[in-house]
Structure 1
Amino acid sequence: MDTTDETTTTPTTTPTTTPGDPAATARAVATAYLAAWQDGDLATLERLLADDVVFTGPGGSLAGRGPCLEGLRAMAGSVERIDVVRQVAEGEEVVTWYDMTRTGGVVVPTVNSSRVRAGRIEEIRVLFDTGPLG
């Protein structure tokens, strides 16, 4: 198992895939995904999501790149910053714990679990503390 501790407010939006090392690729893609979301970079998000990506979170489930992009677009305006606390990858799976600072300074502790294949995210599962949201 590969573990990486990382704290950053500006992760890169250009993932570096590593042939033969799916954990490194999964970390790079997940980091780029969070950076693109933080920056409102929908073109990069579109490139990182598989056509048949599935999202599951506290607000429900979405299937397909289009619906997932719409959900990300809707939330992007309320995300000021994403600070990665810890990221752990094993094979194609990567789990990222981060603090999402929303407009107004509300910090929402969040965990994102993603499966990455061929450099694209196929599945996203998100859990977060709804307490700070009121």
Structure 2
Amino acid sequence: MEIALAYHHAWTARDLDAALTHVAEDVICETPSGALTGNVALKGFMGPFAETLTRSELLASFGDEDRALIMYDTGNRAVASAPAAELYRVREGRITEIRIIFDRLPFALARGDVIRA
């Protein structure tokens, strides 16, 4: 749990280099956009979003030394509220798997995408 929280606090503080010290080089990350492999790909995915953050609020967290679940809400200039959850698997002191779940609708609306029911 401590490693997952340290990673979360670092990336939401816009310090991706510090965040990646908690991540395995060959991390597997499942995102709403598809799977990523490796910490370079993870940095490329998280970095642009982290740089735009205007706020981050940790809503809940639970887990142990092998698995953790964190729920949070973030905001940026385009989206006031973007709730998300991340499930982490930790092995030998590093995050080896991340599953990110978030609602893409607020971002689509901010871009002006047409949403059909």
Q: TM (normalized to structure 1)? A: 0.73
Residues 100 and 109, structure 1, Cα contact 8 Å, conserved in 2: yes
> Separation in 1 of the partners of 2:79 and 2:39?
29
Tell me which residue corresponds to 1:123: 97
Give how far 1:91 is off: 4.9
Decide whether aligned partners of structure 1 residues 132 and 105 sit closer, same or farther in structure 2, where only a CA change above 3 A counts. closer
**Alpha-carbon shift at residue 103 of structure 1 (Å):** 2.6
What is the alpha-carbon distance in structure 1 between the residues aligned to residue 50 and residue 68 of structure 2?
A: 22
State which of 83, 92, 107 in structure 2 corresponds to 1:109. Answer: 83
List gaps (5 residues or longer) in structure 1: 1-26
Q: Distance in 2 between matches of 1:103 and 1:119?
A: 35
SS of 1:77 mapped into structure 2: helix
Letter in 2 for 1:69: K
State how 1:1-134 maps to structure 2 within 5 Å.
Answer: 27-104=1-78, 106-133=80-107, 134=109
Per-residue Cα deviation, 1:47-98 (whole angstroms, up to 9, x for no partner): 1110110111112111011111121212211222221111110451101111
Task: Quote the Cα distance in structure 1 between the aligned partners of 2:16 and 2:102.
Answer: 22
Structure 2 length as normaliser, TM-score?
0.83
Cα displacement string for residues 18-55 of structure 1 (whole angstroms, at most 9, x for unaligned residues): xxxxxxxxx21111111111122122122111011011
CA–CA separation in structure 2 for the residues paired with 1:116 and 1:76: 22
> Would you say the 8 A contact 2:82–2:106 is kept in 1?
yes
* Aligned-residue RMSD, C-alpha: 1.5
Q: Greater RCO between the two (CA within 8 Å, min separation 6)?
A: 1
- Identity among equivalent positions (%) equals 29
Q: Which 4+ stretches in 1 moved above 6 angstroms?
A: none
